[in-house]
Structure 1
């Protein structure tokens, strides 16, 4: 409905007033005129304010991108609203979105300004916010325009990132300049050795204390400080567990996306090059890069992740494009065979790989209708046993597996990987 129509209140007032006056004339009873007079007056006043213009309605949001748990305001803009006195709004309630007021219904006089509706997405992803119906009323509630349906606006909801920080060095830094100590000598600040002076050494590197004690010039050598490449691999082959949004229980995809966002933000802040690969139907990917704009690209791709199985032609070993000196962080519940195959292949190639286990401890299978719950529970236990065997085999290959616990999860594992990288090893090609 986009035009003005008489309200039920106006119709009742006119009908009751006309019937009362007719009965007063037929029965000759003045009391009926007194009873019908208020309805006649209200109907006449409402008709006197019959609208002459058709208003325009527009709904806008204050933000186009939000973090989980943060809110925005849906604001109503009216044009040609000289005949409007009262505005009523009924907002939709999409999943994982909190609405204020709770029922999504609000109204008020236009003289005090159009009423606002506050929305707060509770889970990462693409959410449709601002879908609602709007009704406009004239003075004395004689005419109504609407309810007018207004479509929502897609909003990118970025995953929350905990205060993640790590002081561990990268296992195999191979870049230009950064904060990680390299195995080769350079112009860093970390002391490596003191050796005799050679042609080409900088004079400012001379250690005069050792030189005076030995009688020969000696210089101080230092380790180079380089950046590293961090490849984040996100397993989107399925979502296990129940998600109630930020602040509540988390599913495997919640833990995966939030862990990837936190790790990416930390490494970008320290100057490392970060890339993203999603193992899933969308196959989202972001190349290596650094800086705030690159971090925003990664966060946007994480918000657009879709879960589902891979296509048949993609079910083999995935090509992740791992570069030399990169650290691969795989975030997965490790319930798909393809993920274990990819990790084992990278480990055998000598790549530093770390698996972050994102399966919630209390995850239960989703039982389809018509399936025996006891049979589903037995299948789930068997799948958990197979998963534990895969984790044990990865550990035997030298790939550490750690459950995501928020800040500090990767510190100890990365330190062990860095110490292991200093040792000689045989790599199969």
Structure 2
């Protein structure tokens, strides 16, 4: 049980003062008393400030949810510390958590108004629990010490930073009721579709009097209705390839996938469209279609909880995606697993607009060599894996599913315009 204990300095001061007084009496030399006087005084003051209080310690974070690159403060709360004069705090190191001071060691004379704080800066998305730290309290004159007491702050959720992304292309198959995309059918809207003869039921405000006077027949202006679209984001978390250096360093395949998915979700949400999310991996998560700020927060929270790995029930035949007709499917994957290629081929055969965003970083394709300059065994295995990846990419492309690398703004523009052109083009069918 934690309790106040005498410090080593108090023990040494009391021992030396007692020994000096004893030898001074035995030897009849008062000089020893004079020399040991300061130590005796410190020991006496230490014993005078003996306390029986029971301090309570706690560590509280100012924020429990942050974005990559943001920071928060870890505050030490001490109650029942009337006799405390000095506080020392030492924090361990956790992955992707920067500390200030960098060594995680702080100590000062205790002031309840100022406290004793540590600054934390998460450098990567995910769920984190700050490293264990130890706190020691010292009474006046350094005579008594409480602790060190191990403490751990509450968990910290770091949402992925949104990579720069923008798209000027329209969604190919808007299926909702009200939105910002031009529909394939005419209706009430603001997008001009053409001028046609008047039919029973047309509104008089749509009459084009200029054309009607010129032709002698009543004509009306037809417009296209404006509808919203649904976008399903699929994140491949079956593995994480490459090195992750945090928000300011290199990005692994899962870093690219998570940040790109967050950027696309934000763009789709700002356009007024509905967005859904499906994660393939051990922490499989499904977020239904929706829009708005609260739904965006749900998507980011699910992305922050992703953990790479394989699940026992992630067979290609068991992967079921909540895809409705007309939904645009965007798959973020390094394309190193045949289950992902099988899934994308199935979606493409169903007639759904599907695009694969290649998230394999360029540094992950580099192969190492041994001391003699020959490729190492790991490098040879990785090269063979890349050959299999090329075959998977060729199979996906053969089914009509485009594969594009992630390059930020404009990544999906060309693909979406191609989908829109193929949808609007007339199709010939056998009767």
How far residue 312 of structure 1 moved from its aligned partner, in angstroms, is: 4.9
Give the match's secondary structure for 1:41: helix
How far residue 69 of structure 1 moved from its aligned partner, in angstroms, is: 1.1
Task: Kindly report which structure 2 residues correspond to 1:95-244, keeping only aligned pairs within 5 A, or say none.
Answer: 95-111=95-111, 113-129=114-130, 131-244=132-245
Residue 400 (1) aligns with residue 402 (2): yes
Measure the CA separation in 2 of the matches of 1:283 and 1:397. 26
Give the match's secondary structure for 1:301: helix
Normalising by structure 1, what TM-score? 0.95
Kept after mapping to 2: 8 A contact 1:197/1:219: yes
Measure the CA separation in 1 of the matches of 2:289 and 2:355. 18
Out of 376, 385, 388, the residue aligned to residue 387 of structure 2 is 385
Measure the CA separation in 2 of the matches of 1:336 and 1:295. 29
How far residue 155 of structure 1 moved from its aligned partner, in angstroms, is: 1.3
Report what 2:357 is aligned to: 356
Following superposition, which runs of at least 4 residues in structure 1 exceed 3 angstroms of deviation? 312-315, 364-367, 424-427
Measure the CA separation in 1 of the matches of 2:285 and 2:203. 48
Kept after mapping to 1: 8 A contact 2:4/2:52: no
| Larger deviation, residues 297-306 vs 211-220 | 211-220
How far residue 424 of structure 1 moved from its aligned partner, in angstroms, is: 4.0
Q: State the Cα deviation string for residues 32-70 of structure 1 (Å, max 9, x = none).
A: 111111100001011111113111111100011000110
Q: State the Cα deviation string for residues 81-136 of structure 1 (Å, max 9, x = none).
A: 11111111112211010000001010111136221000011111100026321111
Normalising by structure 2, what TM-score? 0.94
Give the aligned length: 423
Report what 1:13 is aligned to: 13
Residue 42 (1) aligns with residue 36 (2): no
Measure the CA separation in 2 of the matches of 1:404 and 1:144. 57
Kept after mapping to 1: 8 A contact 2:101/2:118: yes
Kept after mapping to 2: 8 A contact 1:317/1:342: no
Measure the CA separation in 1 of the matches of 2:367 and 2:316. 23
Kept after mapping to 2: 8 A contact 1:196/1:217: yes
Residue 374 (1) aligns with residue 395 (2): no
Measure the CA separation in 2 of the matches of 1:68 and 1:416. 34
Give the match's secondary structure for 1:288: strand
Gaps of 5+ in 1: none
Give the match's secondary structure for 1:193: strand
Q: State the Cα deviation string for residues 325-360 of structure 1 (Å, max 9, x = none).
A: 100000000000000000011111111001000000
Kept after mapping to 2: 8 A contact 1:240/1:365: no
Measure the CA separation in 2 of the matches of 1:41 and 1:189. 91
Out of 382, 398, 421, the residue aligned to residue 423 of structure 2 is 421
Give the match's secondary structure for 2:106: strand
Measure the CA separation in 1 of the matches of 2:316 and 2:399. 23
Measure the CA separation in 1 of the matches of 2:375 and 2:236. 27
Measure the CA separation in 1 of the matches of 2:244 and 2:174. 37
Give the match's secondary structure for 2:306: coil
Give the match's secondary structure for 2:363: coil
Report what 1:299 is aligned to: 300
Measure the CA separation in 1 of the matches of 2:302 and 2:179. 26
Aligned-CA RMSD value:
1.8
Kept after mapping to 1: 8 A contact 2:232/2:329: yes
Report what 1:33 is aligned to: 33
Kept after mapping to 2: 8 A contact 1:230/1:326: yes
Per the alignment, do residues 373 and 13 of structure 1 end up closer, same or farther by CA in structure 2, a change over 3 Å counting? farther
| Larger deviation, residues 254-263 vs 358-367 | 358-367
How far residue 233 of structure 1 moved from its aligned partner, in angstroms, is: 0.5
Q: State the Cα deviation string for residues 252-294 of structure 1 (Å, max 9, x = none).
A: 0000100111111111121111111111112211111111111
How far residue 77 of structure 1 moved from its aligned partner, in angstroms, is: 1.2
Measure the CA separation in 2 of the matches of 1:163 and 1:379. 34
Measure the CA separation in 2 of the matches of 1:313 and 1:129. 32
How far residue 404 of structure 1 moved from its aligned partner, in angstroms, is: 0.8
Measure the CA separation in 1 of the matches of 2:427 and 2:347. 15
How far residue 165 of structure 1 moved from its aligned partner, in angstroms, is: 2.1
How far residue 366 of structure 1 moved from its aligned partner, in angstroms, is: 11
Gaps of 5+ in 2: 369-373
